[in-house]
Amino acid sequence: MIFFRQVSMIPIHDILPHLVAPLKSGEITRFAPSPSGYLHLGHAFSAMFASSLAATSGGLMCLRIDDIDTTRCREIYFDAIFEDLAFLGIPYEEPVRYQSQHLSASHEALEYLKNQDLIYPCYLSRRELAELLSAPHHPSNTDQLITSNIRSEREADGNQPAWRLRMATIRDRFRDIQATDLIHGQVNIVLENIGDEVIARKDIGTSYHLSTVLDDDAMGVSLVSRGYDLFDAIPVQRILQELLGITPPRYAHHELIPNEQGQRLAKRENALSLRQMRQNGCDRDLILRMMTKCRNFIEKK
């Protein structure tokens, strides 16, 4: 194993916020971008953040490419991730993990959950579900919304189902589940508030949640660090870890870097990419200084 080379240029203390729980020594963190757009300042911050946590604890940062959603991934964005990280001078552990190369683990996990009757197939589209749920006196369990006629018709037509958590059973099996976030403290997950989430989409046979939980575990990630926009992913991911017997990692959800209007940056809205900033003459130090400034700005709010 190659040990993490601490990069002295990264302003570690400028990037790390106050932690409510201490770092353990040798934390394994990861940066997990999706190759569905160019990385922006928010990604740079996330990568720096994961890298700083790892370096401060004497651990490692791994890179994972979240490429399960083939409809949104593009070859140019894969290459751009490596170029942008090189430009920022952020080292990562080799080999890089590609989520799409580990789909068999998701399929095995699904088989296990099916055999335990913890998930059920759902043949309804989002729109059909929304219509049924808007009707008065609808059943509370999504599974009861689909009549056996529709189900057998769609099965016979060869339609692939999505797979949803059977929360009624899961609630009986577990008491409340907790997660530890080094920035936000203890997170208590109230199972009553969680619906029958899709954990395998019909088109790809897995989901962001399932692949993330399995890959984080396979990579030995001890600290999942990522932006606060994914804070709400904790409950489903913690439930999946409990169901699959996975030792939970700890979490660190950092604040989001705002744009000039104070809104979060998003790839879909063509947020200024690192690539564009570079073409406009920004060098690495300027980008680092901008991130530090953004952090100070968020902290003072």
> By the criterion CB under 6 A, which residues form the site for ligand GLU?
32-34, 66, 212, 226, 230
Alpha-carbon span 90 to 18, nearest angstrom: 22
Q: How far is the CB of 248 from ligand GLU (least distance, A)?
A: 14
* Count of Cβ atoms closer than 10 Å to residue 271 Cβ: 20
Measured from the CB atom, the residue of 69 and 196 that comes closer to ligand GLU is 69
Q: How far is the CB of 233 from ligand GLU (least distance, A)?
A: 6
Structure tokens given for 8: 């002295």
Q: How far apart are the first and last CA of the chain?
A: 41
What are the angstrom distances between the C-alpha of 241 and each of 29, 30, 74, 125? Answer: 17, 18, 30, 27
Q: How far is the CB of 41 from ligand GLU (least distance, A)?
A: 14
138-159 burial string, b = 16+ CB within 10 Å, else e?
eeeebbebbeeeebeebeeeee
Measured from the CB atom, the residue of 78 and 114 that comes closer to ligand GLU is 78
Closest Cα to residue 50, out of 218, 182, 233?
182
Q: How far is the CB of 162 from ligand GLU (least distance, A)?
A: 20
Contacts of 273 (CB under 8 A, 6+ apart): 37, 38, 39, 40
Q: How far is the CB of 169 from ligand GLU (least distance, A)?
A: 26
Measured from the CB atom, the residue of 166 and 226 that comes closer to ligand GLU is 226
CA angle (41, 44, 48) in 5-degree steps = 140
Measured from the CB atom, the residue of 162 and 234 that comes closer to ligand GLU is 234
Task: List for the chain the helix, strand, coil content (%; round to 5).
Answer: 45, 15, 35
Measured from the CB atom, the residue of 36 and 169 that comes closer to ligand GLU is 36
Q: How far is the CB of 217 from ligand GLU (least distance, A)?
A: 13
Measured from the CB atom, the residue of 226 and 295 that comes closer to ligand GLU is 226
Alpha-carbon span 42 to 48, nearest angstrom: 10
Phi and psi (nearest 5°) for 117?
60, 35
Q: How far is the CB of 210 from ligand GLU (least distance, A)?
A: 12
Measured from the CB atom, the residue of 34 and 273 that comes closer to ligand GLU is 34
Name the residue with tokens 């689909």: 146
